[in-house]
Structure 1
Amino acid sequence: MEKLVDRLASYGAYHRDMRNILTHFIGIPMIVAAVAILLSRPIVDLGDLSLSPAMVVAALAAIYYLALDLRFGLVMTALLALTVAIGDALAVAPMAVWLGWGLGLFMVGWAFQFAGHYYEGRKPAFLDDLAGLLLGPLFVVAEAAFMVGLRREVASAIETRIGPVRVRERGRQRG
């Protein structure tokens, strides 16, 4: 659990404002889906097996998440499989449809990310550590779990290191 807490605390230090976290609940899934869609072409046939770059990237990411934590890793693997299935479905669509969904979700997802970091008053974590790009989806899953009372021991260990999430009061100034 220590490695999981280290990674989530490192990423979470850039995400202590609830408004930022909420924008990540929208933006990160959009970006992950966009990457899966955009990497779903081309498909390489290896005999009875067809493989896309999206499948390879998702499998490698799933291995990383499973190595960090089995329970979160299983959830991440299921979500990655879903995004690959969405990408596969769009990969057979006309080029304009495939590209429109992929690029559209990617751009709108990043707009949500940067809006959240405006509220946070801090740059995105990946600007200091590219691993933040891989930790973002796990962070969203972990925060959702914490919000419904799951994995309290992980949430507590993270808060001990970086403090609780801030909920800004209405009308309060940024800063």
Structure 2
Amino acid sequence: MRRIDHLLSEYGESHQNVTNKSIHWVCVPLIFFSIVGLVASIPAQTVQSFLGEGNAYANWATVVLVLVTIYYVTLSIPLSVGMMLFGVLCLVLVNVIVRLNIAPLWAVCIGIFVLAWIGQFYGHKVEGKKPSFFKDVQFLLIGPAWLMHFIYKKLGIPY
């Protein structure tokens, strides 16, 4: 069994309840997005000097997403493409929030992060099982890939 299949299967063991699964379809992408936004909020003079001053995507979130994509490549090249595209979408949405200037990016992302985790813990309460990352922190990155693999299956794309 491939490592990605083992990880997705193990993650899926604590995600059988329909309500919990539905909550995950909303909350996991929101948590991923909020983390991208929080990391993008970190001052990035070093990154900007390397990637170009004034570049809206020259931030720590871009650097972290490159590293996360490398992790996904080690598991599945097709899934890594989908996750990279989702990461790019998150970066675009982060920049939209910054341009709208409705509130500081970090404040918006903390609000999303807290509400999404409340949803996640509620889902796991309904499920009756602890979140997978309590067993292994790497499951924080497997959760988004788990959802992506369902999208791939629906589209008939091998992962």
TM over 0.5: yes
Q: Please give the alpha-carbon distance, in whole angstroms, between the structure 1 residues aligned to 2:22 and 2:151.
A: 10
Q: Deviations over 1:87-128 (max 9, x none)?
A: 234346659431331111101111221121112100100111
Q: How does 1:13-162 map to 2 (within 5 A)?
A: 13-41=13-41, 42-44=43-45, 45-47=48-50, 49-50=52-53, 51-91=58-98, 94=101, 96-146=103-153, 148=154, 150=156
Q: Please give the alpha-carbon distance, in whole angstroms, between the structure 2 residues aligned to 1:93 and 1:35.
A: 19
Q: Is the 8 A contact 1:58 1:84 kept in 2?
A: no
Structure 1 residue runs without a partner (length 5+): 155-175
- Structure 1's 48 and 114: CA in aligned 2 closer, same or farther, altered over 3 A? closer
TM-superposed CA distance for 1:18, in Å, is 2.0
- Structure 1's 78 and 48: CA in aligned 2 closer, same or farther, altered over 3 A? closer
Over aligned residues, Cα RMSD in angstroms? 2.2
TM (norm. structure 1) is: 0.77
Structure with more helix by fraction: 2
Structure 2 residue runs without a partner (length 5+): none
TM-superposed CA distance for 1:48, in Å, is 5.2
Matched letter for residue 6 of structure 2: D
TM-superposed CA distance for 1:136, in Å, is 1.0
Q: Please give the alpha-carbon distance, in whole angstroms, between the structure 2 residues aligned to 1:65 and 1:49.
A: 26
Larger radius of gyration: 1
Q: Identity over aligned residues, as a percent?
A: 26
Q: How does 1:3-22 map to 2 (within 5 A)?
A: 3-22=3-22
- Structure 1's 47 and 8: CA in aligned 2 closer, same or farther, altered over 3 A? closer
Q: Please give the alpha-carbon distance, in whole angstroms, between the structure 1 residues aligned to 2:62 and 2:50.
A: 16
TM-superposed CA distance for 1:149, in Å, is 6.0
- Structure 1's 48 and 74: CA in aligned 2 closer, same or farther, altered over 3 A? closer
The alignment partner of 2:104 has SS state of helix
Matched letter for residue 119 of structure 2: F
Q: Please give the alpha-carbon distance, in whole angstroms, between the structure 2 residues aligned to 1:76 and 1:47.
A: 24
Moved over 6 A (4+): none
